[in-house]
Amino acid sequence: MIYCFISGQKLQPFQTVNLSETVGPLFSLFRDEEHYSDSSPDRCRTCAVVGNSANLIRSHYGAIIDNHNFVFRMNHAPTKGYERDVGEKTTHRAIYPESAVDLENSTHLVLLPFKVLDLQWLISVFTTKNITRTYRAVKPTIKANKDKVMIINPEFMRYVYESWLKKQGKYPSTGFIMLMLALHICDQVNVFGFGASANGRWYHYFDHSHHQSVHAGVHRGGVEYDVILKLEQQQKIRMYRGW
């Protein structure tokens, strides 16, 4: 059984009829090449996982972030105007329909499919452009390189939810899923822009109107952060917390 998450609810099985109808076109439309599953003692793939926390403001981390082989960013997080603190390189951007933005030609679009409609939306983006709504209005198309599309397997999202978060919260945050992906495909993982502000709210570096409490939202921000701290203690990752 293939599982995925449906917005606002708990972990749900994908509807298999819709899924099999959708997966065929997906595989014919997008290349199935880059899995980053190679490994060798000589390989040192450095990755910066850049969350959207306001702790990036005045951090001056831009140059350090840009110095990584892979730079993962999430959702609509901008770089323009914030280069000094967040850098300008984006090798991979994790999105879902509701958070999509235009991408540069060299950036990988990494889709996190939370529901079957997200897969259908991705097909539509590059073909008919006729999906304009999910649970809210979404962009019918975005600028993105079709040959650089990557789709996270919903099974990987379930694994992160069950094995790393012990099913706490409704589903893992985008940033947490990308951090887990980085741990699997990178040799060195440096983490930027994660963590709530001192008042316990999830502010963005680019938008001070976002102030969802980490403990009250669909993501158990506190639980995720505890896992991240443990990974840091065990020297699996390095955290850059701002100043």
**Interface contacts to ligand C5P, rule CB under 6 A:** 51-54, 74-75, 173-176, 194-196, 202-204
Closer residue to ligand C5P (CB): 166 or 210: 210
Structure tokens that stand for 243 in this block? 């100043």
Cα distance between residue 222 and residue 228, in whole Å:
10
Cα distance between residue 91 and residue 221, in whole Å:
25
Provide the minimum distance between the beta carbon of 109 and ligand C5P in the complex, in angstroms, as a whole number.
16
Closer residue to ligand C5P (CB): 61 or 176: 176
Cα distance between residue 111 and residue 119, in whole Å:
8
Cα distance between residue 8 and residue 89, in whole Å:
33
Q: Which of 171, 203, 205, 240 is catalytic?
A: 171
Provide the minimum distance between the beta carbon of 189 and ligand C5P in the complex, in angstroms, as a whole number.
14
Closer residue to ligand C5P (CB): 30 or 202: 202
Cβ distance 190 to 50 under 8 Å?
A: no
Closer residue to ligand C5P (CB): 30 or 171: 171
Provide the minimum distance between the beta carbon of 220 and ligand C5P in the complex, in angstroms, as a whole number.
11
Residue nearest to ligand C5P (CB): 175
Strands (E), the chain: 3-5, 11-13, 46-50, 70-74, 92-95, 108-111, 149-151, 188-192, 238-240
Provide the minimum distance between the beta carbon of 51 and ligand C5P in the complex, in angstroms, as a whole number.
3
Question: Which amino acid does the sequence have at 16?
Answer: T
Buried b (16+ CB within 10 A) or exposed e, 30-54: beeeeeeeeeeeeeebebbbbbbbb
219 is catalytic: yes
Closer residue to ligand C5P (CB): 26 or 108: 108
Provide the minimum distance between the beta carbon of 155 and ligand C5P in the complex, in angstroms, as a whole number.
20
Determine the 3-state secondary structure of 220 from DSSP: coil
Q: Which of 68, 204, 219, 240 is catalytic?
A: 219
76 is catalytic: no
Just list the catalytic residues.
Answer: 171, 219
